[in-house]
Amino acid sequence: MIYKKHTLTSATFGSRVAEDETEGLHSYFVETEQWRKLVAGDIDIVFGAKGAGKSALYSLLISQKETLRLGRRIVFIAAENPRGTPAFRDLAFDPPASEEEFRGLWKLYFLTLLANYIRYALEKVNASNSNATKVINALSQNGLLAPNITLIARLKAVLNYVREHMPTVEGGFTDPNTGIEVTGKITLGEPSSEQRAKGYVSTDDLLNMLNKAYLETAITVWLVLDRLDVAFADSPTLEGNALRSLFRTYLDMRSLSNVQIKIFLRDDIWRRIVGSGFREASHVTRSLTISWDQQSLLNLVVRRLVHNNEICALYGVTREAVLQNAELQRQFFYRVFPTQVDIGRRQPSTLDWMLSRTADGSKQTAPRELIHLLIGTRDEQMRLYELGGSEPSGENLFDRTAIREALPTVSNARYEQTLCAENPTLKPYLDKLERKKTQQTPQSLSKLWGCTLDKASAIAEQLAEAGFFERKGSKESPAYWVPFLYRDALKLVQGSA
């Protein structure tokens, strides 16, 4: 008991949030084919459920930026803040008027990020580039290229210009070959032949100039966007306009050889965009969707266990030996954990119990909740020791009671910090389900919520899309079942309403 308690005292299993464990991610990470494609540059769009690991991939990609820069001359530019206040958050209070205005915003914003970096790169080596100079001067004369400012400030400057000069942005540049000041305008659309004769230039023209500049300097840029679900969470309409225009901008810029846009986005948000009408969706092909099966989730738990030298010493194993193959991982898991949480011939194994209790209405288990359950189990086991509880039987490091008692903490966190936080308009309906039965029908929900049957069905479908309900029954006679993940948070009672 002393050895087990001492082992758990010093054990750590990381954080359930990838942004909080950037350094430790390397120890837990296994290179997959999806990761190799992403690093190779073959993937532009990464889809995944909430907590599926998008931010983990993003963080790992950031950690590779020096290797990419030195080895393949790939420059990694974050177009959204990876932590803290999202650059696009303020748009919720004063958004662009239309998708077309948003499209102009995206292009001009990307243009300023690209121009700002190449200006820095050329100054660093005291070099010049005519294409880069034209773009830098055009943007600088209009206050769009102030150095050393935050992404939020840069975006605000771009938004002000887009609004003030839609469909054109006044500007000009000095021809580096002749030294003659050329006065013109930056247009957000394609200028006419008359406009071109007067010196007008489009954002697409400037992007092409910058692409040539990057090509001439043998540099490829990855413009990377993550946390878009946070940036536009307060307004579904804004989210739709912003992301449809972003993907249209992405498709417009696909022809640039030395500039690539990388987007990390939740798959449910993508489904909403496509569901509301997005013809260009079929052209978004350089993508992958993060998925997890039982073996990969087992591997995730085992990797976090054997990351602790004390646990490896307790069981007389090495990290490398345990991770050799799937069967060795399973054997090690059941040395650490009991065979079952709930005893009985028809009860699931511990791994199946953990996966089923951390799955939402889509029947998918996100790594975030599984890691949270692992962390919570460790904390509950320590609490049992402090209360004078007996040690786990046999070789087990964890008692079945500790696993079971850890679930409510996971349930509350998922319910409050994810479901309610992201669906505030649905919270009043969720609150009324507290202490009710786990299976509901449109009729029972109509009575519970005090609304019409049609409205109850519509709200239930929204909750199903959010992962709170799992759809059961038939189309003619639907039923809605609350998964284990949310039951403790609402103190639900097993059974049908």
Domains of the chain: 2-14+293-420 (no CATH), 79-285 (no CATH), 425-496 (1.10.10.10)
Across the range 133-150, mean pLDDT stands at: 87
Across the range 57-66, mean pLDDT stands at: 82
- Contact residues for 278 (Cβ-Cβ < 8 A; gap 6+): 244, 247
**Four-point Cα dihedral 301, 304, 310, 312, nearest 10:** 60
* pLDDT value at residue 87: 83
In 6-54, where do the E strands start and end? Answer: 45-48
Give the confidence band of 397 by pLDDT, cuts at 50, 70, 90. very high
What pTM, to 2 d.p., does this model score? 0.83
* pLDDT value at residue 251: 95
* pLDDT value at residue 169: 54
Q: Which of 156, 110, 145 is nearest to 248 (CA)?
A: 110
Across the range 182-201, mean pLDDT stands at: 70
Residue 29 or residue 322, greater confidence:
322
Chain mean pLDDT for the chain: 88
pLDDT at 310 over 70: yes
* pLDDT value at residue 179: 52
Q: Sign of the C-alpha dihedral, residues 58, 117, 102, 417?
A: positive
β-pair type (437-440, 493-496): parallel
Q: Cα–Cα distance between 6 and 9 in angstroms, integer?
A: 5
- Residue appearing with tokens 């009324």: 432
pLDDT at 172 over 80: no
Give the confidence band of 452 by pLDDT, cuts at 50, 70, 90. very high
* pLDDT value at residue 23: 58
pLDDT at 385 over 90: yes
Dihedral-angle region of residue 438 (phi above 0 means left; psi in -120 to 50 means alpha; beta otherwise):
alpha
Give the confidence band of 120 by pLDDT, cuts at 50, 70, 90. very high
Provide the percentage of residues in the chain whose pLDDT is more than 90.
Answer: 58
* pLDDT value at residue 27: 62
Q: For residue 286, give both structure tokens.
A: 């350089």
Give the confidence band of 59 by pLDDT, cuts at 50, 70, 90. confident
* pLDDT value at residue 50: 83
Q: Cα–Cα distance between 220 and 118 in angstroms, integer?
A: 11
Residue 29 or residue 363, greater confidence:
363
User: For residues 58-67, b (16+ Cβ closer than 10 Å) or e, as one string?
Assistant: bbbbeeebee
109 vs 41, 79, 162, 220, CA distance in Å? 22, 9, 10, 18
* pLDDT value at residue 166: 58
Q: Which amino acid is at 105?
A: L
* pLDDT value at residue 84: 76
Across the range 465-483, mean pLDDT stands at: 93
For residue 232, how far is the Cα from the chain centroid? 13
pLDDT at 170 over 60: no
Give the confidence band of 263 by pLDDT, cuts at 50, 70, 90. very high
Q: Which of 114, 152, 105 is nearest to 135 (CA)?
A: 114
pLDDT at 183 over 60: no
pLDDT at 68 over 80: yes
Q: Cα–Cα distance between 239 and 220 in angstroms, integer?
A: 29
Dihedral-angle region of residue 363 (phi above 0 means left; psi in -120 to 50 means alpha; beta otherwise):
left
Residue 68 or residue 285, greater confidence:
285
Tell me how far apart the terminal alpha carbons of the chain are, to the nearest angstrom.
Answer: 46
Asked if 109 and 69 touch (Cβ cutoff 8 Å), the reply is: no
Q: Angle 350-357/294-306 helices, nearest 10 degrees?
A: 100
Across the range 426-441, mean pLDDT stands at: 96
* pLDDT value at residue 141: 79
Residue 181 or residue 100, greater confidence:
100
Across the range 350-368, mean pLDDT stands at: 95
Across the range 125-149, mean pLDDT stands at: 89
**Four-point Cα dihedral 26, 32, 38, 42, nearest 10:** 160
Q: Cα–Cα distance between 48 and 268 in angstroms, integer?
A: 8
Q: For residue 277, give both structure tokens.
A: 């009408």
Q: Cα–Cα distance between 114 and 101 in angstroms, integer?
A: 20
* pLDDT value at residue 25: 57
* pLDDT value at residue 485: 97
Q: Which of 80, 103, 418, 94 is nearest to 235 (CA)?
A: 94
In 279-318, where do the E strands start and end? Answer: 287-289
* pLDDT value at residue 210: 96
